[in-house]
Amino acid sequence: MFSVFGISIPISATELLLASATFCLVFWVVRAWQPRVPKGLKSPPGPWSWPLIGHVLTLGKSPHLALSRLSQRYGDVLQIRIGCTPVLVLSGLDTIRQALVRQGDDFKGRPDLYSFTLVADGQSMTFNPDSGPVWAARRRLAQNALNSFSVASDPASSSSCYLEEHVSKEAEALISKFQELMAGPGRFDPYRYVVVSVANVICAMCFGRRYDHDSQELLSIVSLSNEFGEVAASGNPADFIPILRYLPNTALDVFKDLNQRFYIFMQKMLKEHYKTFEKGHIRDITDSLIEHCQDKRLDENANIQVSDEKIVNVVMDLFGAGFDTVTTAISWSLMYLVTSPSVQKKIQEELDTVIGSARQPRLSDRPQLPYLEAFILETFRHSSFVPFTIPHSTTRDTSLNGFYIPKGRCVFVNQWQINHDQKLWDNPSAFWPERFLTADGTINKALSEKVILFGLGKRKCIGETIARWEVFLFLAILLQQVEFRVTPGVKVDMTPIYGLTMKHAHCEHFQYSESIKKQKKKKKKKKEEEEKRKKKEEEEKEKEKEEEKEKEKEKKKKKKRKKRKKKEKKKMHTCKTAQSILGFITLFLHCM
């Protein structure tokens, strides 16, 4: 029995020795597990964590908010544990730019997470841990293919580029769909129709085809994407607690199934393209990749060829990049429009002034529509619907802000924190598009570059430019013709639902009316038509009067002619009578 601080503890010397040895062993293992920090550097700070589960409970249902709060206490570089895995969390615009741009090669890796191996059979360009020459070559190939069928111009079209042509068609089809819905139930959830229109744009670029809004094939693709987002939103503990991979896991099984079904669909599209492929007649992105594959062209810097399997993976990455982000951006934009009607009115007034109603908005109008651009930037910033980039990892031992970071460290980049940082934004919780406008009404470029949604550096989204253009053009065309609102008395729920992309709750109470300009145009047209009709009626009446006058004149003329004829006839008769009398007198005189 031992006494500690006057308290008797019933423990033997052997038990005490074993306890001490165990403590020393655990302490040694923990110290050995932690990387040795080079002299002059520090380990990133962070809160105390629970054994086995780490900071899972701290993160809760809104990790972006929890980690933003932790950054206020521990700084822009902090470390947490998810399960047994250490994770570096980066916040602050300067720190994130330093890591992803200036030290881009150090932070361009992807962590070897189990769920990443299930996407595109582990060969996804976006999720694959590889960041070497093979990855770089495939990324360039994908970027070139995407540009060729989006920002490049179509010689057979009056549009400035393929993207403008596709979006213009889909936006008009979307307006027609809204008109049908308003003629029927009188209210609708725009998300389910926006998602189909955006899917059609990426299908046109990737596969050279568009679908009807009720096409089962297209709806199945949309459903797969939505399910993928919902499952991914719940997170995958097996990524950070390896033993869970071998235990029954319904969410993981669903995730595997979704990826497999999407992969099968892409393989089917590739087979169809191979059957109809004609060299020299490249119709879309898939054809472009097939041509590259068949030509067996080698990359300039690395001996890399693209197999059929890689084509499927590249198309899957491009489809994902051009679909979910744009859909979510437009959907959030519509929510902000109905909750900020004065903002919607300003956008429509700008469209009326700059473009009018004689033609559709075009991409070339973008510099002349600064308020619409400011609205889009504020939607990106305020919603921050991509709260984190896809996790990064370090490719080698490095340091950041005086902290040592070992190779292979999983890195979370908190984009939400940047977009709501009080050091960067006045009243960040307020939705205020005017913050992006200068005194002369143009876009404040320096401030607009502080909105981070598509990542930075070597792993930034390859579809960022296209996504921005697409969101702009969809909104410009819609708002030129339509004014959105919700059913009176309905409260719109703007609470974000956490996920890879944060969605809002579905709102089935949307309504719309034609824009004020369009209403005025219709009213003006109606007035002009009415005036035309009245003028025509007056002209017809005038014509009738003229005809009546002409008839009257003709009647009088006829009467005069008749009278004259009668007079002439009478005169002739008188003459004849006179002649007869004269003849009779002559004859009488002759007989005498």
Binding residue positions for heme: 461
**C-beta contacts of 146-152 below 8 A and 24+ residues apart:** 146/205, 146/285, 146/318, 146/322, 146/462, 146/463, 146/466, 148/285, 148/288, 149/205, 149/206, 149/284, 149/285, 149/288, 150/205, 150/466, 151/465, 151/466, 151/469
Whether 298 and 304 have beta carbons less than 8 Å apart is answered as yes
Whether 343 and 199 have beta carbons less than 8 Å apart is answered as no
Please name the residue ranges forming H helices in 208-249: 216-233
Q: Return the exposure string of 217-237: e unless at least 16 CB atoms fall within 10 Å of the residue's CB, then b.
A: ebbebbebbbbbbbbbeebbb
Please give the Cα distance from 298 to 464 (Å, whole number).
27
Angle, to 10 degrees, between the axis of helix 191-207 and the axis of helix 285-295?
30
Q: Which two tokens stand for residue 339?
A: 């909750």
Secondary element (H or E) of residue 392? strand 392-393
Please give the Cα distance from 458 to 544 (Å, whole number).
80
Whether 99 and 106 have beta carbons less than 8 Å apart is answered as yes
Q: Which two tokens stand for residue 207?
A: 């596969």
Gyration radius of the chain over CA positions? 39
Q: Which two tokens stand for residue 10?
A: 């019933």
Please give the Cα distance from 291 to 251 (Å, whole number).
38
Q: Which residues lie closer than 8 Å to 471 by C-beta, 6 or more apart?
A: 326, 329, 330, 333, 376
Q: How far is CA 590 from the centre of its chain?
A: 125
Please give the Cα distance from 448 to 469 (Å, whole number).
15
Please give the Cα distance from 223 to 220 (Å, whole number).
5
Q: Which two tokens stand for residue 211?
A: 């679908």
Q: How far is CA 335 from the centre of its chain?
A: 14
Please give the Cα distance from 518 to 513 (Å, whole number).
10
Q: Which two tokens stand for residue 453?
A: 């949604």
Q: Quick one: CA torsion of 46, 47, 48, 50, rounded to 10 degrees?
A: -100
Whether 428 and 419 have beta carbons less than 8 Å apart is answered as yes
Please enumerate, by residue number, every residue annotated as part of a binding site.
Answer: 461
